[in-house]
Amino acid sequence: MYTINDKQYPCSTSVTMGLIGGKWKSVILIYLVEKPLRYNEIRKKIPTATERTLSLQLKGLEEDGLIKRTVYTIKPPLKVEYELTDFGKTLIPLLHSIAEWGIVAIAQYQKA
């Protein structure tokens, strides 16, 4: 049994899924692999996610240390940008593998 952020997990796989699971977390992370993005840029890439859900998913990723939120206040308008942390960047090979497997799954289901 593992305890991380006051949550208990029975195995390392459940730790991984606890951190990147959820409807939009892995999608957000794969977009942030390319470059840091502003909230509205993420929102445009995931139009079916509600604002509330997207905000909660971003907050969760930030609390878990996978992304960093930077607020720029130097000149108006206020600018908020999200990017992967060094810890979050360790997920890049896994995220690419998940995306590649998704392509295999799409091909499988389109054959049926």
pLDDT in tens, 73-109: 887 778 899 999 999 999 999 999 999 999 999 999 9
* pTM score, whole prediction: 0.89
Residue 112 has pLDDT above 70, yes or no: no
Q: Which run of H or of E encompasses 84?
A: strand 79-84
Distances (CA, A) of 56 to 21, 22, 53, 70: 13, 10, 5, 16
Q: Which run of H or of E encompasses 46?
A: none
- The arithmetic mean of pLDDT across residues 52-79, rounded, is 91
Domains of the chain in sequence order:
23-111 (1.10.10.10)
- Compute and round to an integer the Cα radius of gyration of the chain: 16
